[in-house]
Amino acid sequence: MENKFKFFIIVVILISLLAGVLIFSGRKKEVEIETEKVRIGSVKELKLIIVVDNYPDSELKTAWGLSILVKTPKNTILFDTGPDPGILRENLKKLGVDPSEIDFVVISHEHGDHINGLSYLAKVRPGLKVYVPKGTAERIGIRGLDIKEVDKTTEVAEGVAIIGWLYGPPAEEALAINVEGKGLVILVGCSHRGVVNIVARAKTGLGIKPYLVLGGFHMVGAAESV
């Protein structure tokens, strides 16, 4: 009986050591992926226009959600599309933005307050390229658009990169623009993964210091000192 007990203890120790090795290997691989550098260019100037948010401080329609228009010298990008196709349509019209000007869309994550405006774009800009986080294209389910899943930090235009893939849940990505003489302007949807973690991922992955972070921080209940 004593020999069987000693054998059992030895087996448990060996299993524990093996599990520790596997966990360590997995963490090491994850760190290597997160610290892989992506080289991007830069833009000389940048213009950000809030298309949809929930602050009634302009003539635009407000709603619980987010959409930001990004203009660089070479590209016009829409980051998220807000919660309602009608609101996106009306606000773009009031801002004097023709949907045909939009080169591509970046969706931060699959929640309705960030993707529902896509149905409007599918009608007026069929075939428009839309970048979404890995594993979410089928659930977003908007037909008529060119949906591209992103599984890692990727340059998508000169000086512009998608920061991904981050899992909260849900899966989420951010948009980063490298502005000459300033640094990274980082747009976030809801920051389910934590805005600090997203910014750290951008800084590490691109090797460029952050300058500005704009979007949803999901910090309801956090202390003002955070």
How do the domains of the chain map onto residue ranges? 1-34, 35-215
Q: Rounded mean pLDDT of 50-68?
A: 93
Chain mean position to CA 57: 26
The DSSP 8-state label assigned to residue 43 in this structure reads B
pLDDT the model gives residue 221: 55
List, edge to edge, every strand of the sheet that includes 76-79.
Answer: 47-52, 67-71, 76-79, 104-106, 129-133, 146-150
> Is the pLDDT confidence value at 151 over 50?
yes
Q: Rounded mean pLDDT of 141-151?
A: 95
Nearest in space to 36 (alpha carbons), one of 160, 136, 155, 159: 155
Name beta bridge partners: 77: 70, 104
Q: Rounded mean pLDDT of 150-154?
A: 95
Q: Rounded mean pLDDT of 151-176?
A: 94
Q: Contact at 8 Å (CB) between 89 and 121? A: no
Nearest in space to 114 (alpha carbons), one of 157, 154, 172, 72: 172
| CA atoms of 160 and 157, how far apart (whole Å) | 5
> Is the pLDDT confidence value at 110 over 90?
yes
The DSSP 8-state label assigned to residue 3 in this structure reads H
Per cent of the chain over pLDDT 90 is: 73
pLDDT band at 226 (very low <50, low <70, confident <90, very high): low
pLDDT the model gives residue 31: 31
Continuous segment of H or E residues that includes residue 7: helix 2-34
| CA atoms of 210 and 108, how far apart (whole Å) | 18
pLDDT band at 1 (very low <50, low <70, confident <90, very high): very low
Average pLDDT in the chain: 85
pLDDT digits (tens, 9 = 90+) for 166-206: 888 899 999 999 999 999 999 999 998 899 999 999 999 99
For 44-94, the DSSP string reads S--EEEEEE-S---SSS---SS-EEEEE-SS-EEEE---S-HHHHHHHHHH
Q: Which residue has the higher pLDDT, 99 or 36?
A: 99
Look up the pTM and report it: 0.82
pLDDT the model gives residue 14: 34
For 168-219, the DSSP string reads SSSEEEEEEEEETTTEEEEEES--TT-HHHHHHHHHHHH---EEEEEE----
| CA atoms of 219 and 131, how far apart (whole Å) | 26
Instruction: Compute and round to an integer the Cα radius of gyration of the chain.
Output: 21
For 35-215, give the CATH class: alpha beta
pLDDT digits (tens, 9 = 90+) for 130-140: 999 999 999 99
